[in-house]
């Protein structure tokens, strides 16, 4: 019996009702179905009193979600998609993303298209697009203190009441450099259209094998976005006496102290998106972010009486 999974945002009534309908349709068609919420992929926050708050990045899969699963359907917005890939990427499960949120930049289809789309997916009439992910680890005394898998970005920034921070950054074997800024963003090409874009970074097309380092409000005209090969590991040494905060994919993180070391590299796991037609990244940029739209014509001059 073939097996499929459903991951949904249980805070959205629409996602809950659609998940139940999909469950029944797949069971009627002879599929084994495993259901889970996106909560298992939410990392949570540690605190100075309880700094260790993590599960190994390859141990987040819900029960039944394994490498025998043909596909999973995710119902929610971009946040649910990010959480779902943390749960299923290590198992290599292809994911159909269905928008029940607002922006839906990472989603492939909509709820009203599901009846025909479900038939297409069950018949395996689709392509798979692989997106790179990041492996993020905090080491303290050479021991893994916290780790996470992410699709968009890792952000290391100052606490709200502290001053500008210094970061010693080393890419691969190259000499370390010092960056003075409010924080730094390390993003994948997928994440280049998220926080990194808002902070002034360039847009990277998904297939480019690179990562991006972007200072947040740097105190130097020379500190700008840097794009480098994703075969290089990035190591960050906090060079400031105050604790900082790390946030991964905008939903979880931990405190970082001066004695810590952060390692960021391309993960061996990829996010495998089910595509119902050939991926068209520039169309998504245009529809979701308004990129490349034609200029609105200026009104013609009118002679006043």
178 known member of a binding site: no
| 103-144 residue pLDDT tens | 788 999 999 999 899 999 999 999 999 999 999 999 988 888
pLDDT number for residue 145: 84
- Domain segments of the chain: what residues? 3-125, 134-267
196 known member of a binding site: yes
The CATH code belonging to domain 3-125 is 3.40.50.10330
pLDDT number for residue 108: 93
Q: Which CATH architecture has domain 134-267?
A: Sandwich (2.60)
78 known member of a binding site: yes
70 known member of a binding site: no
- What's the CA dihedral at 133, 134, 135, 139 to 10 degrees? -170
pLDDT number for residue 191: 97
pLDDT number for residue 140: 87
Beta bridge partners of 165: 181
Separation CA 96–CA 19 (nearest Å): 13
pLDDT number for residue 144: 85
Q: Are the folds of 3-125 and 134-267 the same? A: no
Q: Is 302 in a helix, a strand, or coil? A: coil
- What's the CA dihedral at 273, 277, 283, 288 to 10 degrees? -50
CB neighbourhood size of 205 (10 A): 12
195 known member of a binding site: yes
Separation CA 155–CA 196 (nearest Å): 9
141 known member of a binding site: no
112 known member of a binding site: no
- Token readout for 80 is 């649910």
CA distances from 13 to 42, 81, 111, 161, 264 (A): 19, 17, 13, 38, 37
Catalytic (active-site) positions: 78
CA distances from 138 to 51, 143, 155, 252, 270 (A): 11, 8, 13, 14, 21
pLDDT number for residue 48: 56
- Token readout for 88 is 């299923």
* Long-range Cβ contact pairs of 140-147 (< 8 A, separation 24 or more): 140/257, 140/259, 140/260, 140/261, 141/259, 145/51, 145/52, 145/254, 145/260, 146/46, 146/51, 146/52, 146/53, 146/54, 146/246, 146/254, 147/54, 147/56, 147/57
C-alpha 231 chain-centroid distance: 19
Average pLDDT along the chain, 305 residues, taken 10 residues at a time: 94 92 95 91 60 70 94 94 94 96 85 92 95 94 87 91 87 93 96 95 96 94 93 94 89 85 96 92 88 69 57
């Amino acid at each position: 019996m073939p097996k499929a999974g459903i991951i949904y945002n249980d805070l959205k009534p629409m996602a809950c009702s659609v998940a139940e309908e999909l469950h029944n349709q797949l069971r009627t068609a002879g599929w084994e179905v495993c259901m889970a919420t996106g909560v298992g992929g939410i990392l949570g926050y540690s605190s100075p009193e309880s700094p260790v708050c993590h599960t190994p990045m390859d141990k987040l899969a819900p029960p039944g979600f394994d490498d025998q699963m043909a596909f999973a359907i995710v119902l929610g917005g971009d946040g649910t998609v990010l959480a779902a890939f943390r749960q299923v990427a290590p198992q290599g499960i292809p994911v159909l993303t269905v928008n029940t949120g607002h922006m839906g930049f990472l989603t492939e289809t909509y709820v009203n298209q599901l009846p025909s789309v479900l038939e297409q997916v069950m018949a395996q009439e689709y392509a798979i697009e692989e997106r790179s992910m990041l492996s993020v680890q905090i080491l303290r005394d050479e021991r893994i203190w916290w780790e996470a898998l992410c699709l968009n970005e890792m952000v290391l920034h100052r606490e709200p009441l502290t001053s500008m921070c210094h970061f010693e950054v080393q890419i691969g074997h190259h000499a370390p450099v010092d960056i003075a800024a409010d924080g730094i963003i390390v993003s994948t090409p997928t994440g280049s259209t998220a926080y990194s874009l808002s902070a002034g970074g360039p847009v990277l097309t998904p297939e480019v094998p690179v990562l991006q380092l972007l200072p947040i409000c740097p105190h130097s005209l020379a500190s700008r976005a840097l794009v480098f090969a994703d075969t290089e590991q990035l190591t960050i040494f906090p060079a400031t006496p105050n604790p900082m905060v790390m946030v991964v994919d905008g939903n979880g993180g931990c405190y970082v102290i001066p004695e810590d070391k952060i390692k960021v590299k391309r993960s061996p796991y990829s996010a495998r998106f089910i595509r119902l037609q050939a991926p068209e990244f520039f169309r998504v940029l245009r529809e979701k972010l308004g990129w490349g739209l034609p200029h609105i014509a200026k009104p013609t001059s009118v002679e006043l009486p």
